[in-house]
Amino acid sequence: MQETKPTRLIVGITGATGTIFGVRLLQMLHGSGVETHLVMSKWAARTLTHETPYTLKEVQALATHSYGLGDQGAAISSGSFITLGMVIAPCSMRTLAAIAHGLGDNLIHRAADVVLKERRRLVLVVRESPFNEIHLENMLKLSRMGVVILPPLPAFYNQPQNLDDMINHIAMRIIDQFDIHLDVMNRWDGMLLSERQNRTEEE
């Protein structure tokens, strides 16, 4: 019998500000050999339109498979569908609360619940500021269960030149959590470098 190595990652995008983080993850993983299984909430679709130039269809096309929010019969609703785990980027406080309390009333909550019961990796790119005690308690509860709470905070030691640099660095750190170490910084640095060169030539 052949051993099957999971290279599937579930990607949830919810209605917190910072939809670009979910989009950038999909862009980076596209063509990497990692299968992405995408579910977006209703409010994720709304913030996507509000905050980015991308359409819902364009984002869904970046994923290997895309599911409807109410599709509880989807493959990712079952633990027998082997995955590396799930990332929710960005993760709203509503979705955080639903996961912390085991609600399974949409496919994002259900897939996260399955990842927890199967003891797979769950990474929540939580976004709210400031946090209230409910948010903090929910995060602590999940962190104690091994969930990675990863707010999308920028670093400055890598001397980001623009917002894209910051987004790419955060997206790369999220992907690192799944032991997927893509050569993304080089790739994106290359693009950014050429963009900078073009800009210099234009000036």
Query: Contact residues for ligand FMN (CB under 6 A)?
Result: 14-17, 41, 43-44, 46-47, 50, 92-95, 127-128
Q: Give min distance, CB of 170 to ligand FMN, in A.
A: 15
Q: Give min distance, CB of 97 to ligand FMN, in A.
A: 9
Q: Which is nearer to ligand FMN, 50 or 196 (CB)?
A: 50
From the list 106, 112, 171, the residue with the least C-alpha distance to 142 is: 112
Q: Give min distance, CB of 62 to ligand FMN, in A.
A: 19
Sheet of 148-149, strands arranged across: 65-67, 35-40, 8-13, 85-91, 121-126, 148-149
Q: Measured between alpha carbons, how far is 11 from 39 in angstroms, rounded to an integer? A: 6
From the list 167, 172, 194, the residue with the least C-alpha distance to 183 is: 172
Q: Which is nearer to ligand FMN, 99 or 180 (CB)?
A: 99
Q: Which is nearer to ligand FMN, 109 or 180 (CB)?
A: 109
Q: Which is nearer to ligand FMN, 37 or 184 (CB)?
A: 37
Q: Give min distance, CB of 23 to ligand FMN, in A.
A: 15
Question: How far is the first Cα of the chain from the last one, in angstroms, to the nearest whole number?
Answer: 61
Angle 19-29/42-51 helices, nearest 10 degrees?
A: 90
